[in-house]
Chains A and B, each alone.
Chain A
Amino acid sequence: MLSDYITTVLAAGWVSLQLAFVALVLAVVLGLLGALCKLSGSRALRIVVGMYTTLVRGVPDLVLMLLVFYSLPALLNQGLEAMGSDLFIEFSPFAAGCATLGIIFGAYMTETFRGALIGVPHGQVEAAHAYGLGRVHTFRRIVLPQMIRLALPGFTNNWLVLVKATALVSLLGLQDIMFRARGAAEATGKPFTFYLIAGGFYLAITLISLLVLMWVGRRYAAGHRELTR
């Protein structure tokens, strides 16, 4: 009886993980674009990205999530109604959650990646150009591998915060581990047990992520250690 509830709660952990991974991909893409824009020659791009990161970091995650899930469709529907269309827009909690978390952590990733890009010595890029590598090749073969080493600590931090932030999407009604834990807590009258199980799940993900990212860090530090010796 109790073990049935435990399996349904833990099974919903998969939903939380999916959410976290989709949001991570979005955040990395936004972060890379943002970092490149911030370091680009265009003033307009720098200002736009600067506004994006300031706005996102100035508002709580929960409020941004409510804005995307409730306010944005409301605004769009008002616009559609004014245009005489009878379309009705509604976001699924999963899509709204991915989008919001992606946008939030895209802003944090922008700062992380910007710092890492600055840390790659400019001589490396010049050498690549001297060898006749194009811009795309220079970025992929020279800048990116060195940048990963520098970005990894910030990236690890952002990922850990992102995983924990997925718990907020349960408040939009997504059936993730937190939502199911709440359901099981109400059904069995054992709230402490079930919230503890959900907490254990997040702690396990945190520890596994730390181990994996430590291993990745050692791989990307390999060339660096040889050079400094």
Chain B
Amino acid sequence: MSWDVIYENLGRYADGAGLTLMLTALALGISFFLSIGLALARNATQPLARGAVFIYTLVFRGTPLLIQLFLIYYGLAQFDLLRQSFLWPWLSSPLICVLIAFVLNTTAYTTEIFAGGLRHLPPGEIEAARAYGMSWWTQVRRILLPAMLTRSLSLYGNEAIMMLHATSLASTVTLMEITGVARNITLNYYIQFEPYVTAALIYLVLTSVLVCGFQLAEKRWGAYLQPRRS
């Protein structure tokens, strides 16, 4: 066993964990706001808006994230128009490509989760809001959004964990997050066991922290939905 190699490289694992957390936080943060808008559109009365959002979520939930990532990172180079445009310096950077792929992917899942939460809202709550003379925007702000977010909290927690795990795919396009660091160490030191086990342990710890965080959040904001203890 060569655990001393791992000990020497602990700093690189820490950097990797930092990148993993940054990718997770950025992807989840951006997609959170996009999903709120799309979830409202998914339940809108216009069939065109509903249909368009449905097709988007269907396509991005129906294909592997790895393909979406490769389409963006390798695929876009096929178009000369893009290569010559001012966007190219950004679109050829792995970090930006990974973020675009992650945001598009997790937004599709989160939109469906939020839209589902919205659909389970009792109609009486909206009728009551209308009876109080609330404008559409006030209804969204005071009734729809809080109800939607608290109702989808546990499913959203799962999605956040999925996103944390999905960041491991960033290693396939040269990014040095936790999995990338582990792969790099296996190649440099010719050891196959310790680097991946260490990576798995770090992911386990990060996952547990996320799970605990979401359980606390559910206790804090979702308590009113729990069956009352008699």
Using a CB–CB cutoff of 8 Å, the interface residues on chain A facing chain B are: 55, 57-64, 66-67, 70-71, 73-75, 78, 160, 164-165, 167-168, 170-171, 178, 181-182, 185, 189-193, 195-196, 198-199, 202-203, 206-207
CA distance A203 to B169 in the complex (A): 20
Main secondary structure of the interface of B (DSSP, over half): helix
Q: Which residues does chain A contribute within 8 Å of B121, judged by CB atoms?
A: none
Residue of B nearest to A77 (CB): B192
Best-surrounded residue of B62, B165, B172, B183 (most CB of chain A within 10 A): B62
Q: Classify the secondary structure of A's interface with B.
A: helix
Most buried by B among A58, A70, A73: A58
Leading 9 A-B pairs by shortest Cβ distance:
A192-B75, A74-B192, A60-B165, A167-B64, A206-B62, A60-B168, A164-B64, A192-B78, A58-B207
Q: Does B54 contact A (CB under 8 A)?
A: no
**Interface size counted on chain B using CB atoms at 8 A:** 43
A sample of 26 cross-chain residue pairs with beta-carbon separation below 8 angstroms, ordered by A number, consists of A58-B208, A59-B200, A60-B165, A62-B179, A63-B168, A67-B200, A70-B192, A70-B196, A160-B61, A164-B65, A165-B64, A168-B66, A170-B66, A178-B66, A182-B70, A191-B70, A192-B71, A192-B78, A195-B70, A196-B75, A199-B64, A202-B64, A202-B67, A203-B58, A206-B61, A206-B63
B183 & A66 in contact (Cβ 8 Å cutoff)? yes
Take A64-B200, A167-B66 as given contacts and tell me if A199 and B71 are in contact as well, using a CB distance cutoff of 8 Å: yes
In the complex where A55-B204, A203-B62, A206-B62 touch, is A167 in contact with B196 (Cβ < 8 A)?
A: no
> A53 CA to B93 CA in the complex, in Å?
37
Structural contact, B74 and A185, CB atoms closer than 8 A? yes
Q: Does B48 contact A (CB under 8 A)?
A: no
CB distance from A209 to the nearest CB of B (A): 10
